[in-house]
Chain A
Amino acid sequence: MAEIKNILLCGVGGQGTILASRILSTALVSAGYDVKMSEIHGMSQRGGSVVTQVRYGEKVFSPIIGKGSADILVSFEAMEALRYLGDLSPKGHVVVNSHMMPTATTLSGAEEYPKDVIERVKAAADTKVLDAAKIATELGNARAMNIVLLGALVKLMELENLDWEAAIKECVKPAFVELNIKALAAGMATVA
């Protein structure tokens, strides 16, 4: 427990990055870890890039990490993984959603969305690619893709024994608890 683990979650405003981080933090606190979670509010609701950081261990000081420090980078959108790759430790892992979301500049044609973005991430780091949108849609709601990705993270960080059901119940509305529990399990099942 002594070693501090650093998790970085990134995505686009509205993807549920912050909710996934909250579920993660809640479960970690219940398991007795010291936890700090940092998020930047502000203009993310307007389609901007969103990043949250979760740090846990015996005693955590800084709420934020610097470059090359994340043990795992979970990207809810394909290109965002490339944007934050510099924060990942060279020994770290990436979980990336293959889902691509255009930006204001790519929509207008001012910039190109790099179509080979997943290949670029894979070439740079140990990467697990998930079609989280497809998995979540099969479960009945594409919006649950954030929890599918959380599931993969849980397995990779060997946190599967934490009380996820309780954490989900604490963080989401009752109507969505069942869906989110299924989505978490489906995400965990993607990692061998």
Chain B
Amino acid sequence: MKQLMTGNEAVARGAWESGVHFASAYPGTPSTEILENIANYGEICSEWAPNEKVALEAAIGASFAGGRAIAAMKHVGLNVAADPLFTLGYTGVNGGLVVVSADDPGLHSSQDEQDNRHYARAAKIGMLEPADSQEAKDMIKIALELSEEYDTPILFRMTTRICHSKSIVELGERSERTVIPYVKKDKFNPIPAISRGLHTKVEERIKKLQAFSNTTELNYIEWGKERKIGVVSAGVAYQYAREVYGDSASYLKLGFTYPLPIEKIRDFAAQVDELIVIEELDPFMEDAIRAAGIACTGKSKIPIEGELNPDIVRMALLGEERETIQYDSSVVAKRPPVLCAGCPHRGFFHELNKFKDVIITSDIGCYGLAPKDIAICMGGGFSVAHGAQKVFNIAETGKRCVGVMGDSTFFHSGMTSMLEAVYNNSNVLLVVLDNRITGMTGHQQNPGSGLTLSEEAANITDIAEVAKALGVKHIRTINPLKLSEVKEAIEWGLGFDSPAVIITRWPCVLKRLTEDDMKEFGHYKAINKVDADKCIGCKLCIKTGCPALEYHSDTKKVTIDRNQCVGCDVCVQVCPKNAIAREGN
């Protein structure tokens, strides 16, 4: 049976067909749907982990115990999981283990566009790169088999366009895998004396993988009508190359990209006039090909930055540009993403922004759409605040740092950041914006939400109790939609010589409320309207950034979009003329 699938859906299907026993991930675009789809297959134990390191470690445990396992993450997530990854490269596996890295060239929704192919080389493990959904499904099976055959984890490198593009997949059936019996082995316990021996095996393994790479059908030649141009490419870049050159070039299409099939590339290069390496981001293949003494063209013409597409490749290599419609695009208004109408973050930031000499250190989440001064990485909001506060104090600037992060980010890596501020004592204000769900990536459950990935009841970790256990002396939980409560809490929190913690507790406006949520927060949704006679057009409500509010320059009045308003009442509290009230009142 044929089905149109995204690369992410195909990875999930491939995992199921290959008899995978255990899968874990932390959500992150563009990788999130891999685990969401694996969770649809009841045979696989599938879980959201608190972070990527934990996800990989859990998958390692599953592999060592003899199961087939997958850990999935976005590119920056692999930085978090790098510690276990490198040692895993030494220990090898028991059951097959695949680590999926979903890179984001073009930064569609990321803070950098790092090229994670380098991890395969750095950790000395095998790497596969699918070029469409069919390959994504097929290669997961091959990756698990290679993992077991060569005793290596496999890095399965995808990119946004592979993850989120749909193409046709021929479905197969699940072949059940018996769990390989666990036997205590030295390699699972890499103390220095053992690891020295493991390193020798790693170097032997890379040679074997090199030989495999040169012979496998995963790396194949497609001869075109001519042999003037020979293209070496992999992943989605191969599709762009085919689009640009069609049958006029010949291709060495790579699916197994670390170690590279250098001898196969050398043979191919000898049979074409010019070798062109077409790859997104870094010259990962090009550098290795040049180092082997094979002449090629690559990044001297093809951009190293951003995502490629057929146009960019065509312009770079052929100097040809497509004819386009000429028109004035300057009148098109920007359409940036904004905090939703009714977002619980709005009230908190509206008040926080009134405080002078406050530096907001934030990180990765919807709240990153609110004003901020600094953001680095998941969980960084609190520790960056701590370090900055120490130096602001040394310089006697009087500046105060307020660190903000969401509930899921707090569980991801914010707990140790909070501990830093407690242990090394700084007068920071740390705010957990607890909207009861992982918002930015589309509502994944987390350790505080009460449900697992499979929507079964889960133990709930209480953020205030965690803060207390970490040693925070000043903790307050507030409703972020009550502006007076927010203002008073921020003033309170900035009044100490040691860290204070505020937890703003209100569900994401898009969250499907659970029974517990209903009990705690009630059915609060209502609609507000503006009394045009009272509205003076001061735009104070507009400054909250709510997309349900519209200012009309002709009438100098504000109106509220009934379809968006949920009655969060932030604008009601901001209006100096009491012009906004519930509909019907």
Contact = CB atoms under 8 A, between A and B. Distances in A.
A68 B321 CA distance: 9
Contact of A90 (B160, B323, B329): B323
B331 A29 contact: no
A25 B337 contact: no
Interface residues of B, number: 58
Contact of A85 (B3, B329, B539, B549): B329
Contacts of B442: 41, 45
A188 interface: no
A61 B329 CA distance: 30
Interface stretch (A100-108, A132-140, A156-164, A172-180): A100-108
A63 B443 CA distance: 27
A107 B550 contact: yes
Contact of B325 (A38, A47, A90, A117): A90
Contacts of B334: 103-105, 111
B314 interface: yes
B30 interface: yes
For A39, A45, A89, the residue with the greatest tally of chain B CB atoms inside 10 Å of its CB is A45
B372 interface: no
For A61, A65, A120, the residue with the greatest tally of chain B CB atoms inside 10 Å of its CB is A61
Contact of B539 (A12, A67, A109, A124): A109
A102 B550 contact: yes
Given A36-B166, A65-B310, A108-B545, A47 B243 contact: no
Given A47-B340, A103-B335, A108-B551, A61 B242 contact: yes
Contacts of A64: 161, 165, 309-310
Interface string A1-39: 000000000001100000000000110010000111111
Nearest to B163: A41
B327 A124 contact: yes
A82 interface: yes
Contacts of B358: none
A67 B366 CA distance: 31
A90 to B, nearest CB: 5
B324 A37 contact: no
A66 B332 CA distance: 20
A63 B236 contact: yes
Contact of B333 (A86, A90, A111): A111
Given A36-B166, A86-B329, A104-B336, A25 B4 contact: yes
Contacts of A38: 161, 164-166
Nearest to B322: A68
Contacts of A42: 29-30, 108-109
Nearest to A107: B550
A35 B134 CA distance: 12
A13 B340 CA distance: 11
B338 A85 contact: no
Given A42-B108, A69-B322, A108-B551, A62 B545 contact: no
A34 B168 contact: yes
A49 interface: yes
Nearest to A64: B309
Contacts of A67: 311, 322, 324
Contacts of B29: 41-42
Contacts of B310: 62, 64-66, 69
A105 to B, nearest CB: 5
Given A40-B160, A46-B338, A108-B551, A79 B327 contact: no
B551 A25 contact: no
Interface string A140-156: 00000000000000000
Contacts of A192: none
Contacts of A68: 322-325
A43 B350 CA distance: 21
B575 to A, nearest CB: 16
B333 A66 contact: no
Nearest to A34: B168
Contact of B551 (A47, A90, A107): A107
A105 B335 CA distance: 7
A83 B324 contact: no
B194 to A, nearest CB: 44
Nearest to B32: A41
Contact of B243 (A48, A61, A112): A61
Nearest to A113: B333
B333 A62 contact: no
Contact of A112 (B323, B326, B333, B336): B333
B369 interface: yes
Interface string B102-135: 0000001100000000000000000000001000
Interface string B335-362: 1111110000000000000000000000
B409 to A, nearest CB: 16
A25 B166 contact: yes
A47 B338 contact: yes
Contacts of B325: 68, 85-86, 88, 90, 124-125
Interface string A50-66: 00000000001111111
B134 to A, nearest CB: 11
A46 B557 CA distance: 25
Contacts of A117: 331
Contacts of A36: 132, 165-167
Contacts of A113: 333
Given A37-B165, A62-B309, A90-B323, 4 more contacts: A38-B166, A39-B165, A111-B333, A114-B332
18 contacts: A36-B165, A36-B166, A37-B4, A41-B33, A41-B109, A42-B30, A47-B547, A65-B309, A66-B312, A83-B335, A86-B325, A90-B324, A107-B547, A107-B551, A108-B551, A109-B551, A113-B333, A120-B331
Interface of B: 2-4, 29-30, 32-33, 108-109, 132, 160-161, 164-168, 236, 239-240, 242-243, 309-312, 314, 322-329, 331-340, 366, 369, 440, 442, 510, 539, 542, 545, 547, 549-551, 553
Q: Which 4 A-B pairs have the closest CB atoms?
A: A66-B311, A63-B165, A42-B109, A46-B337
